Copies of this chain bind each other. A is one copy, B any other.
Amino acid sequence: MDDWLKDSDEVGPSWLTVDLAIFTLRDDQLMVLLVERGLDPFRGMPAMPGGYVQKKENLRDGALRELAEEAGIDGSQLHLEQLGTYADPGRDPRGRVVTVAYLALGPDLPIPTGGTDAARAFWAPAARLGDGTLTLAFDHQTILTEALEEVRRKIEYTAAATAFCGDTFTLTDLRTVYQVIWGQELDPSNFRRKILNTTGFVQPTGDQRLPPTGRPAALYRRGQAWLLNPPVLRATTSGQRG
């Protein structure tokens, strides 16, 4: 069967990798997971966690395996989604390496332990992706910048924001997710009304949680809906929406 796949002047083999854009909330900041590369090329430089997809593995399984190997994170709990594929001929000095970028969102995750290929893994503030203080291997700067914008959009139209919360959460927890990611304050009362009117977004558990100070807050868990109707739209500078 392999004789159908012939090398030629114009077409040749390529190597397949997955890279992970892993975001979480820590200390009221949006953080992205980076590893320090342990091997050439770009040895010692920060990069997205990732690696080769194995012969008998599909993309999602490969992403989950790399998540565990390089970052020590059990991905079965978090939201995993394909972002895009990057295959420019010059993106990897080793030759044609095609990478499929995955987006992973999770609640405040344990500080990862360094893995085999990665010298060490660490959280970096997502804000540093935009301010030029970060130099990443390969085209990972581009990929992560696109990933960040995708996260901002995603929480408008889907229930992705709940992926940043634990199993149960208060509406203030959820509101904090939006505030941190969008960088703008939201009115607690209006936010509450909006969320509760969006069918299937959250389900009350019946329990409460006591904050350090103040009235206890009702706990919720994720609802069955993923696409939000109506969506939770960002405030627009221009036109009013209602």
User: Which A residues have a C-beta under 8 Å from some C-beta of B?
Assistant: 1-2, 4-5, 10-16, 40-41, 52-59, 82, 84-85, 87-89, 93-98, 100, 157, 197, 199, 229-231, 233, 236, 238-239, 241-242
Query: Are A55 and B10 in contact, with the CB atoms below 8 A?
Result: yes
Query: Are B199 and A239 in contact, with the CB atoms below 8 A?
Result: yes
Please, which residues of chain B bring their CB within 8 A of the CB of A84? Answer: 82
Copies, count: 2
Judged by DSSP, the binding face of A is: loop
Asked if A5 meets B15 with Cβ closer than 8 Å, knowing A88-B58, A199-B238, the reply is: yes
What's the least CB distance linking A89 to chain B, in Å?
5
Q: How far is the CA of A87 from the CA of B157 in the complex (A)?
A: 27
Which among B2, B59, B157 is the interface contact of A94 at CB below 8 angstroms?
B2
What are 11 pairs between A and B in contact, CB < 8 Å?
Answer: A1-B93, A1-B94, A2-B94, A5-B15, A58-B87, A58-B89, A82-B84, A85-B100, A157-B157, A197-B239, A230-B233
Q: How far is the CA of A157 from the CA of B1 in the complex (A)?
A: 44
Q: How far is the CA of A53 from the CA of B87 in the complex (A)?
A: 10
Query: Are B229 and A239 in contact, with the CB atoms below 8 A?
Result: yes
Which among B1, B16, B41 is the interface contact of A14 at CB below 8 angstroms?
B16
Please, which residues of chain B bring their CB within 8 A of the CB of A239? Answer: 197, 199, 229-230
Instruction: Give A84's nearest chain B residue, CB to CB.
Output: B82
Please, which residues of chain B bring their CB within 8 A of the CB of A236? Answer: 229
Query: Are A230 and B238 in contact, with the CB atoms below 8 A?
Result: no
Q: How far is the CA of A14 from the CA of B97 in the complex (A)?
A: 10
Q: How far is the CA of A91 from the CA of B95 in the complex (A)?
A: 25
Please, which residues of chain B bring their CB within 8 A of the CB of A199? Answer: 238-239
What's the least CB distance linking A84 to chain B, in Å?
6
What's the least CB distance linking A144 to chain B, in Å?
17
What's the least CB distance linking A126 to chain B, in Å?
21
Closest 8 CB pairs of A and B: A13-B13, A85-B85, A4-B94, A11-B52, A10-B54, A58-B88, A14-B16, A85-B100
